[in-house]
Amino acid sequence: MQLHLNTKLKRLLVLFAAVFALALAVSPAAWASPAASTAGNAVAPAVWFNPLADKKDSCKQSTVPCKQADLSIKKSVSRVKRSDDYIFTITVKNNSKIAAEKVVVVDQLSKRFELEYVKGPGCKYGQTVTCKVGTLGAGKSVTITIRVDVEPDNFKGKISNTASVSASTKDPNTKNNSSTVTVTYKRDT
């Protein structure tokens, strides 16, 4: 029994020594930074936690490349001749090399606009048009068309309208995630 216990203890000590030797084989610089080189066959951990990083931003907590997709949105408007109608064209583009997941476009229409129709993927409409585009591939774009009528007919003035895009995939540039157009309405006579 004593011999058997000593054998297990010896094996445990040999295993501990091997792990300790492996830890010593990795230079201190490699443990400080994932970009530093490792000695021999030792491999540094793949994910590094940065306690000084913003805890809400997992991309800052790791040196493993984060999945990010830069979405942009552009809105334009044209008036339908001899009518009180306007057509808004919204183009959303994925400017990245990876797909953007759960892409959603929202357009809160002015109370001056009465919605006539919406054409686009996953669109539900009312005074707030919401289009659940889903996955938008790398370099791809999608177009949404909204037709509205100005109410009341005797209104004169400017009407602004903004559309925005968001996704579950982190966007490194949110400055191009909304687009506003302004129309100056005066009824045709």
Q: According to DSSP H, which parts of the chain are helical?
A: 2-25, 28-32
Strand order in the sheet with 128-136: 123-124, 128-136, 100-108, 157-166, 178-185
Could you tell me which residue, 34 or 142, shows the higher pLDDT? 142
For the chain, the structural domain boundaries read 2-60, 71-185
Say if residue 172's pLDDT is above 70: yes
Confidence at residue 89, expressed as pLDDT on a 0 to 100 scale: 98
Do 68 and 173 meet the contact criterion of CB atoms below 8 Å apart?
A: no
Largest CA distance in the chain: 108
Question: What three-state secondary structure class fits 124?
Answer: strand
Q: Can you give the pTM of this predicted structure? A: 0.66
pLDDT of 26: 53
What pLDDT score does 153 carry? 72
3.40.309.10, 3.50.50.60, 2.60.40.740, 3.40.50.720: which CATH number matches 71-185? 2.60.40.740
Give percent above pLDDT 90 in the chain: 55
In sequence order, the 6+-apart residues with CB closer than 8 A to the CB of 52 are none
